[in-house]
Chain A
Amino acid sequence: MDIESIKQDFPILKQRVNDEPLTYLDSAATAQMPTPVLKAIEHYYQHDHANVHRGTHTLAQRATAAYETARQKTAAFINASQAEEIVFTRSTTESINWIAQGLSELIKPNDAIVVTIMEHHSNLVPWQQLAKRTGAELRLVGLNDRQELDLNDAARKIDSRTKVVAIAHVSNVLGVVNPILKIGAMAHQVGACLVVDGAQAAPHLPVDVQALDADFYAFSGHKMMAPTGIGVLYGKMAWLNRLCPSQFGGEMIDQVAQQTATFKPVPWRFEAGTPNISGAIALGAAIDYLSQFGMRAIAEHEQELAAYAIPKLLAIDGLTLYGPQDRHTGVLAFNLAGIHPHDAATALDLEGVAVRAGHHCAQPLMDYLGVNATLRASLYLYNDQKDVDRLIDAIKATKEFFENGFEQA
């Protein structure tokens, strides 16, 4: 892949930040948008903007067609068996909240919900709340000494009382790809529902929800080059048909009388009110953009870049890298001995290197790792070895500053 040419598709990357060229290494938080996606949004608002599923005029028909085409593209992108298994939401968080809300009636006080210690809050707090509402037990699967998911612990915690197993496909801190097939087999063997949080996976590697045998799969548009405010909830049709809508009102109804209402079929029954039409269309454009390279090639590029970065990071005295040390996706969380991540992130920012510092919305994992926060550099399609080199140089300069004082900086 010609990354130099790919970079040209991202106008935002051409700017200078703090008088330095921008090196954007925070794509796990949100990814940048390429020109074709920006143009798709502009085109929609300049030519096709109308409400969907309710107008009879030409613009309404065009908007509806574009919105439903985006649903089909999304279904194809993750190999759903039909477009109707794709519900457009606001975000991964909203998708998981809807699942947790919709499963409420299936969960009884003696049941168990199993998540993992590496979940970000979006795939933990909704389950905490569901457990609280229903009296079910919430169990967290731990890590092994390689900081990967402990499958023995999973086997202990997924038992006949388990009704839901909710797990990240890729950790937003440890950078590991979780063994969804193995966990799914454990879940399905006891009749539990498998919910996969794909926020860090769908943008970065090939996802086949049928091959994964996921009952639900959730991800966000903004982490895969689409705008914020558009998310995806995939569900097997049989599961979606069991979910009660969480929101009611316009657009999702079939017939409404004074005291009663009936609802549209799945997926439209879940999309109450005017949806994020331009967001969905832009997500379709982002899928087109990513698909021209192929998700396998994108995953390989990120893994090669991570393999280039990891030895350079580990060679820095006092640097601790979290997650397995030998294989990683493009998510690289680390700490520098004696330097708080916020201080380091400010220093890196002054060098034009944008990384995230904090708990990454994964506080239980931070506790488990024995830290309050970490730095996190996250890679994407538009990053290259020069970006990694700038990160390494900036880390070394930051260490020099904080270890030897500002006179020598």
Chain B
Amino acid sequence: MGLSKLNYLYRTLVLEHASHPHHQGKLLDATAQITLHNPTCGDTINLAVRIDDDKISDLKFTGSGCTISQASASMMGDVLIGKSVSDAQQLIQAFSNLVIGQKISAQAQEQLQDAAILGSVAQFPARIKCAALAWHAAQAILEEN
């Protein structure tokens, strides 16, 4: 049955993050924020980041979207908080490569923590944008700083 393939995309971790997202809410002392839309589907993310001494000290998101986009934003917060801006940028690039099916280093794979599981989205091209939306938002914020 075709639906059995869904297990591959919607693993327990993804469903868990989507139903109990980490880092969801408003960040009152944010130093930068951005709202991005996925124009093809109407999904929205508002990402707020606090950067102190070139380090991401906190990050929160609000918005609406599918399971993949919400899980991805949750996982991203786990990865990026505490990282320097340049390390964060490298991990965002690694994630972007991963979701389009490119190989990334074992070290990057490990650093992406739960988010590494979203590499399976490469098998579902129509959903890559869902997984990437939060990370694009973070990339845009870091480029501005």
Question: Within the complex, which residue of A340, A372, A373, A409 is in contact with B3, where a contact is CB–CB below 8 Å?
Answer: A409
Instruction: Assess A350 versus B42: contact at CB under 8 Å? Given A342-B130, A406-B10, A406-B11.
Output: no
Q: 6 closest A-B pairs (Cβ-Cβ)?
A: A340-B66, A350-B2, A342-B66, A359-B42, A358-B41, A351-B2
The answer to whether B6 and A409 have CB atoms under 8 Å apart is yes
Q: Is the CB of B7 within 8 A of A372?
A: no
Which of B4, B12, B64, B67 is in CB contact (< 8 Å) with A343? B67
Q: Which residue of B lies closest to A400 (CB)?
A: B3
Whether B78 sits at the interface, judged by CB under 8 Å, is no
Are A347 and B3 in contact, CB atoms less than 8 angstroms apart?
yes
Closest chain A residue, CB of each to CB of B121: A346
- Cα–Cα, bound, A347→B44 (Å): 22
B11 x A352 contact (CB < 8 A): no
B residues less than 8 Å from A20 (CB atoms): 2
How far is B44's CA from A373's CA once the two chains are assembled, in angstroms?
Answer: 11
Is the CB–CB distance between A372 and B67 below 8 Å?
no
- Provide the residues of chain A in CB contact with B1, threshold 8 Å: 351, 397
CA of A366 to CA of B44 in the docked complex: distance in angstroms?
A: 14
Q: 8 Å CB contacts to B: which residues of A297-344? A: 340-343
**Which residues of chain A have C-beta atoms less than 8 A from B124's C-beta?**
346
Q: With A397-B1, A398-B3, A409-B3 as given contacts, are A346 and B9 in contact (CB-CB < 8 Å)? A: yes
Minimum Cβ distance to chain A for residue B35 (Å): 14
Interface residues of B (CB under 8 A from A): 1-7, 9-12, 15, 40-44, 64-68, 124, 126-127, 130
CB <8 Å contact, A358 and B6: no
Nearest opposing residue in chain B for A398, CB measure: B3
Q: Known: A359-B42, A366-B42, A373-B42. Is A342-B3 also a contact (CB below 8 A)? A: no
Question: How far is the CB of A139 from the nearest CB of chain B, in Å?
Answer: 24
Give bound CA distance, A405 to B67, whole Å. Answer: 13
> Could you give, for residues 111-137 of chain A, a 1 whenever the CB lies within 8 Å of some chain B CB and a 0 otherwise?
000000000000000000000000000
> With the chains together, A18 CA to B3 CA distance in Å?
10
The residue from A18, A351, A372, A409 contacting B44, defined by CB atoms under 8 A apart: A372
Residue of A nearest to B19 (CB): A338
A342 touches B41 (CB 8 A): yes
Q: Which residues of B contact A347 (CB under 8 A)?
A: 3, 6
Q: Are A346 and B2 in contact (CB under 8 A)?
A: no
Work out how many contacts link A and B, with CB atoms closer than 8 A.
73
Contact B5 A406 (CB under 8 A): no
- Return the chain A residue nearest B127 by Cβ: A346
Bound-state CA distance A401–B67 (Å) is 13
Distance from B5 Cβ to chain A, minimum over Cβ atoms (Å): 5
CB-CB < 8 A to B3: which residues of A? 347, 350-351, 394, 397-398, 401, 409
Residues of A within 8 A of B5 (CB): 18, 350
Please report the C-alpha to C-alpha distance between residue A268 and residue B96 in the assembled complex, in whole angstroms. 49
Most chain-A Cβ atoms within 10 A of its Cβ — which of B5, B11, B66?
B66
| A394 vs B2: C-alpha distance when bound (angstroms) | 10
Given contacts A342-B68, A342-B130, A405-B15, contact A357 B2 (CB under 8 A): no
Q: Which of B2, B6, B42 contacts A372 (CB 8 A)?
A: B42
When the two chains form their complex, are residues A358 and B40 in contact, meaning their CB atoms are under 8 A apart?
yes
Cβ–Cβ < 8 Å partners of B127 in chain A:
342, 346
Contact B43 A346 (CB under 8 A): no
- By a CB distance below 8 angstroms, the chain B residues around A19 are 2
Residue interface mask A170-197, B partner, CB < 8 A = 1:
0000000000000000000000000000
Q: Determine which of A346, A363, A394, A397 lies in contact with B126 in the assembled complex, contact meaning CB atoms within 8 Å.
A: A346
A363 to B5, CA, bound (A): 31
Q: Is A401 touching B68 in the complex (CB atoms < 8 A)? A: no
A29 nearest CB across to chain B (Å): 12
CA distance A205 to B62 in the complex (A): 43
CB distance from A103 to the nearest CB of B (A): 28
The answer to whether A346 touches B42 (Cβ under 8 A) is no
CB distance from A22 to the nearest CB of B (A): 11
Closest chain-B Cβ to A31's Cβ sits at a distance in Å of: 20
Report the nearest B residue to A340, measured CB to CB: B66
Take A342-B127, A372-B43 as given contacts and tell me if A406 and B2 are in contact as well, using a CB distance cutoff of 8 Å: no
Q: Which B residues lie within 8 Å of A402 (CB)?
A: 10, 67
